[in-house]
Amino acid sequence: MSLKFFNLLGHTFSQGLLPEVGSVVVDCGSNRGEFALYCAKDLHAKVYSYEADPELAVALPCVPDVTFVTAAVAGSSGILELRRAKGICSSIRFHTDCAQSKSLVPAVTLDQVIAHHDLERIDLLKLDIEGAELDVLENTTDSTLCKCRQICCEFHDFLNPADRPRIRRLISRLSARFIIVCMSTFTYGDVLMINRSAVTDTSAVRLAMIGHKYLAGFRRLSQRIVGRTSA
């Protein structure tokens, strides 16, 4: 089986683990909808995409096979405060002193997402929710994690380096169920997790993931060198 790794908007995942038709993608952090639209149009997936910021959600397009939901995916359900600040994405976790505006938004857990849409599996779970990834994964039940064939996650330790010990503890705990490789070099900004039950040879898959990481890094370095010499 070819894993066929692909990086979309900074998120690395395996296209080879996605069915050719009928994939189920849960996109936590729609932003402007680019990730969800690519998955629906190019990967022929059914996408459930969640965006907490109502100012972004109102501009999301209406397209086939994408269900946009205006809500935060969080570690607990209820009503949470969303803060916005100039130059950074809105967040329910990072409450900066320079916040320009605030709003109250509905929040749901990943378990509730699964139950609401009656999902038997998630072929790809993407988490990019401005620091709330930790809360979500720490509070997701094992039964829901079992349904996730792969997870691509952007942890936000580049905004809060103090989160790194907590990220390492979470990765250590999830390693029993997932093969986990951080694809980024200096932060946990691009972490790929592949469910061990989704593959037959976990050692080979891990080696392939590591090989992709360093090959992608070599390509980026080569492009920068070429760019400098041609400038």
Burial readout 64-78 (b: 16 or more C-beta within 10 A, e: otherwise): eebebbbbbbbbeee
The secondary structure of residue 148, as a DSSP letter, is B
- What's the farthest any 2 CA atoms get from each other in the chain? 54
In sequence order, the 6+-apart residues with CB closer than 8 A to the CB of 105 are 52, 53, 54, 70, 71, 72, 79, 80, 81, 82, 92
pTM of the model: 0.91
Q: What is the mean pLDDT of residues 85-102?
A: 62
Joined tokens for residue 6: 């692909």
Task: Return the pLDDT at 218.
Answer: 72
Q: What confidence tens digit (pLDDT) does each residue in 30-44 have? A: 999 999 999 999 999
Pick the CATH number of 5-73+120-230 from 3.30.70, 3.40.50, 3.90.660, 3.30.310: 3.40.50
pLDDT in tens, 19-30: 999 999 999 999
pLDDT of residue 130: 82
CA distances from 142 to 75, 145, 163, 170, 191 (A): 14, 5, 23, 13, 19
Does 98 or 217 have the greater pLDDT score?
217
Whole-number pLDDT of residue 196? 98
* Percent of the chain's residues with pLDDT above 90: 77
Determine which of 85-94, 127-136, 180-189, 211-220 has the lowest per-residue pLDDT on average. 85-94
pLDDT at 216: 81
Distance between CA atoms of residues 39 and 35, nearest Å: 6
